[in-house]
Amino acid sequence: MQDYVDLAEKNGVTLLDNGKCQFCGANTKRGIHECLEIFNLGFHQIDFANIENHIYRFLTVDAHTLQHPEIHGRWNNHFHLSRLHLIFKYDVKWSYKLSPKLSEYLNTYKAHKKDEYLTPPPILERGEITTTDILENSINEKRCKDLIKRWAQEVYDKWNVHHSVVDNIVKGFLHVK
Ligand SMILES: [Zn+2]
């Protein structure tokens, strides 16, 4: 469970235990730890047993990961930004079976792109919406879904300098999948 602590250390980042989330600015009292707890609990207004709602799980994971790249490995940025690009720009209806295919494609890709880094936008400039906004404002299922979609779209937009890189990945992926 403490994996993210190790990853942060490996990335040279000191995690702050109090106050707002140091990465996304979420209105937490215990910083990134609480931000991750909200993320891990998911948003209970949405019934994820319904296959049509899986998209909100994918958007949540992508948005949160790209807001907090310091607690993930660097290639996660490629994966999550590529997936958002596929969803938003190519209207791909994502499903659980596509995720391992994208990972597999990226494994081949990264062997040839060892020096390619997707440098994240500055800390606290990765989208206005955060986990606590969604938690506090999800008065019903529709509102929760709308917020998650806006959250993912904002984060995706903030990573726009890398859209051309992931567009290449996505084209290759769509070709082989
Ligand atoms: Zn956060």
What's the CA-to-centroid distance between 28 and ligand 1, angstroms?
8
Residue-by-residue DSSP string for 74-120: THHHHHHHHHHHHHHTS-----TTHHHHHHHHHHHHHHH-TT---PP
Q: Based on the structure, what is the number of domains in the chain? A: 1
Contact 79, 103 (CB under 8 A): yes
What's the CA-to-centroid distance between 32 and ligand 1, angstroms?
5
Position 1 scores a pLDDT of 46
β-bridge partners, 30: 19
Q: Where do we find the tokens 């250390």?
A: 9
- pLDDT tens digits along 101-143: 999 999 999 999 999 999 999 999 999 999 999 999 999 999 9
Position 119 scores a pLDDT of 97
| Domain containing residue 163 | 3-111+119-176
Segments of the chain with pLDDT less than 50: 1
What's the CA-to-centroid distance between 113 and ligand 1, angstroms?
29
Position 176 scores a pLDDT of 85
Position 2 scores a pLDDT of 59
What's the CA-to-centroid distance between 131 and ligand 1, angstroms?
7
Position 22 scores a pLDDT of 98
